[in-house]
Structure formats: C-alpha cells, structure tokens
Structure 1
Amino acid sequence: MSRATIVRAYLKAIELRKDVLGFYADDIVQEEFPNLLAPAGATRTLADLKAANARGQDVLRSESYEIVSLVEQAEVIACEIVWKGVLAIPLRTLKPGDTMQARFAVFFEFDGDKIRRQRNYDCFEPF
C-alpha cells in the first residue's frame, strides 16, 4: 500500500471514528503548532494520542477531512486539508451542532508503513 493510500485511510478512519492507533509507529511524535485551540502548541506521544482520541469523541459529533493537495517525497507526505467538525459541546461562541472549519497543513513522516512523525499547522476560521 502506498503511503498516500495510508494517509487517506488514516484520515477516513478518523472520520469514521475508528481506532487509528494501528497507523502509528510505537515511537510516534505528533507536533501541533500554535493555533486558536492550542495557543502554546503541543507535542504528543502514542500515550498522549490515545488520550486525545478519547477526548475528541466527546467534543465532536462528526468531522471530515478533504484533501486539497498531497505531495509525496521519499518518506514524507505533505497534505493541505480542509477540516470540518460538528460540535457536540459548546466552545467559546459556538454551540452544539455548529460547524467549525480549518485549513490544515500536515506533514507525515513514515517508518515503513507506519506514521512516525506528524506535524500539524492548523489554521482555524474565527469562532
């Protein structure tokens, strides 16, 4: 399976609320650079991603990922993604049922067929 296919399957699994931990290498590091929801950014290990995945199930009713562009070079996939999330809880000025939208630039580094590093540059629309 190509790495581009793996990234597409990974994003689809998130949309379908399936367990995505099998996509990660054991030493995964995910970096989220500063944005409206994480002003200080964040760095997450596999254990952190497990916890974040569980929390996300309570925050969103649903979410979607539209890949606008995808570039593959050696061990790295770079994606531009339009993300939409329907809230299950109130968040700042938004109420349950409202939709948030963002553009993400996500860089995936692979070790074989597993995601070893993921860097997210998330640009949320004002809310």
Structure 2
Amino acid sequence: MTTEESANLATVRAYIKALESGAVGEALASFSTSDAVQIELPNKLNPQGGQSDLPTLLMRAEQGQKLLQHQTYKVRSEVAQNSTVAVEAEWSAVMAVPIASLPAGATMRAHFAMFFEFSEGRISRQRNYDCFDPW
C-alpha cells in the first residue's frame, strides 16, 4: 500500500469514527473538500436516492442528531487503491424518534458499501449503497 493509500484509508477511518460520535459542523467538514459531493443510491429510507453537496451533508448530520440516540459502524472490509477507498460496514442506530414502524428506542440496522474518492488528502466524492434490514 502506498503512503497516499494509507493516508486516505486513515482519513476514512477517522471520518467514520467522527460520524459515529455525532460530529457536526467543522469537525465533520474538515474531512472533505469544499466542493465534496455525496451520492446516495436508492434505498428503503430514500427510494429516489439523492445527491448532497457539503452544506447539505452538514445540515443532514445536524438533523441526524435529533433522529438518533447513537449510531455505530462495524467495518467488515476496506480497500484502498490510488485515490479511492472502499468500505463495507454494518451500521446500527438507536432511534430517538419513531420512524415508519420503528418506535423510539428501537434499533435500525443496515449494510453499507461506501466508496470514497480523494483530492489533495480530503474526501471529494462519496457514493453510498445502503441496504436496510426489514422493519
């Protein structure tokens, strides 16, 4: 693994830890380029999928603070190649409010495949393939 690949992988690991701990604002923005984009492929929570710029991502992180009591990521595999890092993770979150048929206090689970592209040591593009367990 090259020095760049190791650094990118370390950044993704730190980013996931920041998400897990509920980071918002500059603490979260510091991982990304100012023109970063996240693409979310269609899934149970977002059937149409979507694309978010950095300000939208930061707003969604703050909104998540109101929806989730806490969340965890269990990384199953990770690969770094050139300026791309791929991560497979299991995600779980305890809901702070009811969502669909899940009451507050229930745990939502999903399996994520996340692909990160880097520019100058920061995340410039993220694609998420999220597969939620039934609820």
Q: TM-score range by the shorter chain?
A: over 0.9
Tell me, yes or no, if structure 1 residue 89 matches structure 2 residue 97. yes
4+ residue segments displaced more than 2 Å:
none
Q: CA RMSD in A?
A: 0.9
- Counting helix residues as a fraction of each chain, which structure ranks higher? 2
Letter matched to residue 126 of structure 2: Q
Kept in 1, the 8 Å contact 2:94–2:107? The answer is yes
Question: Distance between the aligned counterparts of 1:31 and 1:119, measured in 2?
Answer: 5
Deviations 1:6-41 (A, max 9, x none): 111000011111231110101101000000000000
- Report how many aligned residue pairs link the two structures: 127
Q: TM-score of the superposition, structure 1-length normalised?
A: 0.97
- Identify unmatched segments of 5+ residues in structure 2: 1-5
Question: Distance between the aligned counterparts of 2:36 and 2:53, measured in 1?
Answer: 6
**Paired residue for 1:119, among 105, 123, 127?**
127
Residue pairs, 1:36-75, within 5 angstroms? 36-75=44-83
Give the 3-state SS of the residue equivalent to 2:93 in structure 1: strand
Deviations 1:70-95 (A, max 9, x none): 01110000010100011000011111
Deviations 1:33-53 (A, max 9, x none): 000000000100011112111
Letter matched to residue 131 of structure 2: C
Give the 3-state SS of the residue equivalent to 2:13 in structure 1: helix
- Identify unmatched segments of 5+ residues in structure 1: none
Q: Percent identity?
A: 42
Deviations 1:80-113 (A, max 9, x none): 0100011000011111111011000000000021
Q: TM-score of the superposition, structure 2-length normalised?
A: 0.91
